[in-house]
């Protein structure tokens, strides 16, 4: 079944479709839809980046120590909060000394996932994280980053000893076990985010359609039906709240797990 083309996808392809098609041709890659070589999830990623850049530039111009606005306070809660669940809190509690140097990358990944999850609440848009290649790309960035951080801190030899295990005799087996363990992290990060967001979007769309059908049906019954017709419209609010909840939970999971992996890679006793 061919996916429907979003309005934003048509707009992005109108501006960048021809160069993208030419580049894909050079790489001998054939898009599934040559009329729209840039698919929905890529267009949505582009939109997330643009909206995030505009939002943070707007917020930066309004930052204040003496009189912080509501938006600034909300963003500060994502960084630090009384429950110690902010990105900075997680890094300091797990990584320890020097944790703040990892904040730009970990924070950027977490915010990108959060904004990507939330954007489908807006009519006519879809979460790029509901397409498997986007969570996979984020997971690969996390995978490479925490290994690179471990290599940078400990050096290749010392960091590589972790994969050999405590016993030289068991080192061939331990290399295989550790390799599969780290690859499982890559798979786990990808599948968890992808499946949860895909199901959340699917349920949201299904129940929104059912609600509209119920609204039209009840409204045709009688005078009482007309009076009760607006009630089904409350149902989407419930699923919007549920979708937002799932979006925040999955963004949090995709933040805390990279922090834990990073903490293990840069730990002094590694």
Kindly state whether residue 40 falls inside one of the protein's structural domains.
no
Residues 6+ apart with CB under 8 A from 233: 211, 215
Q: Is 148 inside any structural domain?
A: yes
Examine the pLDDT at 215 and tell me if it is beyond 90. Answer: no
Q: What is the pLDDT of residues 8-36, one digit of tens each?
A: 999 999 999 999 999 999 999 888 888 89
Higher pLDDT, 225 or 6: 6
Q: What is the C-alpha to C-alpha distance for residues 50 and 108, in angstroms, rounded to an integer?
A: 14
Domain count, the chain: 1
pLDDT at residue 226, rounded to an integer? 56
The pLDDT tens digits for 63-111 are 988 889 999 999 999 999 999 899 999 999 999 888 999 999 999 999 9
In a domain, 6, yes or no: no
User: How much is the pLDDT for 44?
Assistant: 96
What integer is the mean pLDDT of 243-251? 94
Quote the mean pLDDT of the chain: 88
The model's pTM: 0.88
The whole-number pLDDT of residue 224 equals 54
Q: How many CA atoms does the CB half-sphere of 218 hold within 13 Å?
A: 16
- Considering the domain boundaries, does residue 17 fall inside one? no
Provide mean pLDDT across the span 137-156. 96
Q: What's the rounded mean pLDDT across residues 222-232? A: 56
- Determine, yes or no, domain membership for 173: yes
pLDDT the model gives residue 270: 57
The answer to the question of residue 11 being in a domain is no
What local confidence, expressed as pLDDT, does residue 109 receive?
A: 97
Asked, for residue 218, whether it belongs to a domain, the answer is: yes
Distances 152 to 79, 103, 139, 147, 185 between C-alpha atoms, Å: 25, 16, 20, 9, 21
Q: Is residue 118 part of a domain?
A: yes
Task: Tell me which of 45 and 217 has the higher pLDDT.
Answer: 45
Q: What is the DSSP secondary-structure string of 80-136?
A: --TTS-SHHHHHHHHT-TTGGGGHHHHHHHHHHHHHHHHGGGSTT---GGGSTHHHH
**Which residue range is the domain that position 216 belongs to?**
69-266
What H or E segment, with its residue span, contains residue 173? helix 171-219
């Amino acid at each position: 079944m061919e996916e429907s083309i979003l309005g934003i996808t048509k707009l992005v392809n109108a501006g960048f479709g021809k160069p993208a098609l030419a580049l894909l041709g050079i790489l001998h890659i054939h898009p599934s839809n040559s009329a729209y070589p840039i698919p929905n999830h890529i267009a949505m990623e582009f939109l997330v980046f643009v909206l995030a850049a505009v939002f943070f530039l707007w917020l930066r111009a309004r930052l204040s120590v003496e009189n912080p606005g509501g938006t600034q306070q909300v963003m500060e809660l994502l960084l630090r909060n009384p429950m110690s669940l902010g990105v900075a809190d997680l890094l300091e509690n797990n990584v320890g000394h020097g944790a703040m140097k990892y904040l730009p990358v970990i924070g950027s990944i977490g915010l990108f996932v959060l904004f990507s999850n939330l954007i489908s609440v807006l009519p006519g848009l879809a979460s790029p994280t509901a397409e498997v290649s986007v969570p996979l790309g984020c997971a690969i960035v996390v995978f490479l980053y925490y290994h690179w951080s471990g290599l940078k801190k400990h050096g290749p030899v010392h960091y590589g000893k972790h994969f050999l295990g405590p016993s030289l005799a068991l080192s061939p087996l331990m290399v295989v076990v550790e390799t599969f363990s780290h690859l499982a992290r890559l798979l786990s990060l990808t599948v968890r985010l992808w499946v949860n967001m895909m199901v959340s979007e699917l349920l949201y769309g299904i129940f929104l359609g059912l609600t509209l059908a119920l609204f039209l049906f009840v409204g045709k019954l009688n005078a009482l039906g007309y009076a009760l017709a607006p009630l089904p419209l409350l149902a989407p609010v419930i699923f919007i709240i549920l979708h937002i909840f799932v979006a925040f939970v999955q963004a949090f999971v995709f933040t805390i797990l990279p922090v834990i992996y990073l903490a293990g890679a840069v730990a002094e006793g590694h």
